[in-house]
Structure formats: structure tokens, C-alpha cells
Amino acid sequence: MSFQIHVAGSEFSFPCGGEETILDAALKAGIELPYSCRKGVCGNCAAKVNGGEVSRGIVNAEAVPEGQELLCQCRPLGNLEIAPSSWRLIEPGARQRLKAKVFRHTLAAPDVSVLQLRLPAGQRARFRAGQYLQVLLADGSRRAYSMANAPHESDGIQLHIRHVAGGQFTQQLSSLQSGDELEVELPFGQVAIDPGASSPLVCVCGGTGFAPVKSLLDDLSKRRSAREIALVWGGRDRQGLYMREHVGRWQRSLPGLHFLAAIEDANDAIEMQAFHGRVDAALATVAIDVDCTDVYCCGAPPMVNAVKTMCLQQLGMVPERFHSDVFAPGPAP
């Protein structure tokens, strides 16, 4: 059975089957809503649901604002109206499935691979800074990774892949060689950061959450952005900040960039003259005007949740100014 889902404040509706999530149905109908992990973890797809009941999948209770539902996990039991924080129509043909060849595979840290892919001549990867792709594996499953290159570097794709013990794609990484082919689909993810804005921006990342932040800052550098930007990058030890050379380049090309490293290992923190502790504690030392500053946070769910709590509950930031990309492990839905 199919139900009609109406987007509040508009004349748009779309069909949604009873076994289909509202987010999947919206994307299929060409309506892009805010989302990231699609696993009920990040809370980016939270929206008010009016006029009917839904069935719910497994969700992270901390990610669900009071009175809202996670559209990636709820299925309609009747006709509904949804009131997302934002939405837009997807451009026809925006999603691409491409055959990419491995150009270079290097280790940026003992547990982080940097995979540089090249596309066939004449093909370009169309995406916005901060979006991600899905690698299609031989068994039909998928793995999601953020593009670390800026959109103008569209003849190739750079991925930062953390090694996961027992991970299916991790096990393939060691045997990948130059010329090997991967099938990818892109772009995924709704990015709410406006690259043309002039308001202050704070980027917070941990681990390979650096990848989408790198894409965003490379894009802003290309645009010669003059906005005030604070980058708070955290890791357990110095190896967690695996591409620090890029920070120096941004400091030269982005005059408003301020960098703060947060290292949990005490010896490494002293040696690097970094903040000793977690990124959420480091963020508390950054002067933030919550009325006009956007925060963009990327990394593992516990880290993103801690930063979100700091911003919304302790600093008093409105939810609309907090944007996140949660790296929830496992197959991409």
C-alpha cells in the first residue's frame, strides 16, 4: 500500500510505500531533505510529522529532538505531512554511477588509507563540498566515504578510509593496485553549508572526519573566501592529524583561518603545543558568536554528539546553525 506524503508549506507531495522510509521515498521522488548517515544515528533528517502515525526503526534516542521523527527510519501508516528544516528539488541526472580506477594508494597514518581515483577521459564527478559517495562491492553491499577533494577537482576522487578490523572493504584495501577498477555512485548527503556565505564558520573534525572538512576548506580556498574560520581538529595522538601540511596551505590562502589541534595523548599534546583533551572541550576555548556562526562537525557518533551537546546545550546555539556528518560504520543503506 502506498501513502501520500505532503511537504508542509508547499504544493509538493510524493508517494511512499508502507515498507519504504519517508527519506528514501522523498529522494526517489526528486526531493532532497537534510540527511547524512541514513542509519538513525546522526539526527540530521529529523522533522516534524503531522496528521498521521508512523512505524519506527532503530534510532539513537539522543539524536531525535522532542516532537520530531527521523525520516530515515520511519515508515508511514497513512497519509502524512512532514515539516523538514529545509528541502530542495534534486536536479535531474544529478546522481551518477561511474567506473573509477585506482591511481594511487598510500598510507597517511597506520590506520588511514588515502585512495586517489581517476575517472575515464571526459567524465567528471559532480558533487558539492562535504558530500559522499558509495563504493559498490562485489556482493552487492555498499560502503560510504566522503570525497576529500574539492568539487573543482572533478576528474578524480580522493577518499580517506579508516581501517576497520574485519571490515569487508578494509580487507580489500591491502590488495588494491594502480589500475584496479571500483564502481562508485555519487553524490549522497545534503550539505547545508553555503560556500558563498560571509558569516563565521567553525569546522570540528576527528579521525577521517577530516575528509569532508578538507573538501570544504579546499573549496573555500579556491573561492578566496575572506570569512572567519576556526578549524578544531582532534585525535588520540599526533598520528590522528594525518595531513597537517594542508593546514599551513589554508592559513596562507584563507586569511581568516585559525587552527586549534586537540590531542588526547598528553606527551603528543605538549610536543605539538596542542590542546590536551577532546575536541568538544577544545571547542569551549574558541570564541563563538552563536547568533551568526555556523558549526560543521564530522566524525564518529560519540564525538559528534559531544560537540552537538556543547554547541546546543552549553553555548545556546540554535539547531539550524549546527551541521554534522556522522561516520556511522557498516554497510551503506
Task: Please name every residue paired with 144 in a beta bridge, in sequence order, or none if there are none.
Answer: 134
In-domain check, residue 332:
no
What CATH number does the domain containing 318 carry? 3.40.50.80
Residues 258 and 205 in one domain: yes
Where among 50, 69, 89 does a domain terminate? 89
Nearest partner of 147 among 256, 87, 139, 155, judged by Cα: 155
Distance CA 156, CA 161 (A): 16
Q: What is the pLDDT of residue 92?
A: 67
Domain final residue pick, 188, 215, 231:
188
Average pLDDT of adjacent 10-residue blocks, the chain of 333 residues: 92 92 91 83 87 82 80 92 86 84 94 95 92 91 93 95 87 88 90 87 96 97 96 96 95 96 96 96 95 95 93 92 83 66
Same domain, 155 and 48: no
Joined together, the cell numbers standing for residue 148 give 576529500
- Interior/surface letters 222-243, b for 16+ CB within 10 angstroms, e for the rest: eeebebbbbbbbbbeebebbbb
Pair (77, 27) in one structural domain: yes
Q: Are 245 and 292 found together in one domain?
A: yes
Indicate left, alpha or beta for 185 from its phi (over 0: left) and psi (-120 to 50: alpha).
Answer: beta
- Looking at the structure, do residues 81 and 173 belong to the same domain, yes or no? no
321 and 223 belong to one structural domain: yes
Measured in whole angstroms, the distance separating CA 146 from the mean position of its chain's CA atoms is 7
Confirm whether 193 is domain-assigned: no
Element containing residue 229 per DSSP (H, E): strand 229-235
Residues 85 and 120 in one domain: no
- Domain that includes residue 13, residue range: 2-89
| pLDDT score at 91 | 73
Residues paired with 262 in a beta bridge: 234, 275
- Per the CB < 8 A criterion, the answer to whether 136 and 185 are in contact is yes
Same domain for 170 and 215: no
Task: Collect all residues with Cβ–Cβ distance below 8 Å to 326 and sequence separation of at least 6.
Answer: 36, 37, 41, 42, 44, 298, 299, 300, 301, 304
Q: Which of 89, 112, 138 is the last residue of a domain?
A: 89
> For position 233, what pLDDT does the model report?
97
Residue 122 lies in a domain: yes
| 261 domain-assigned | yes
Threshold 0.95, pTM exceeds: no
- The CATH number for 48's domain is 3.10.20.30
Please state, rounded to an integer, the average pLDDT across all residues of the chain.
Answer: 91
**Exposure string for 5-33, b = 16+ CB within 10 A, e = fewer:** bbbeeeeebbebeeebbbbbbbbebebbb
What CATH number does residue 179 fall under? 2.40.30.10
Co-location of 212 and 241 in the same domain: yes
Tally the domains of the chain. 3
The DSSP H or E segment spanning 233 is strand 229-235
Residues 83 and 100 in one domain: no
User: Is 181 in the same domain as 210?
Assistant: no
**Is the domain of 226 the same as that of 135?**
no
pLDDT at 5: 94
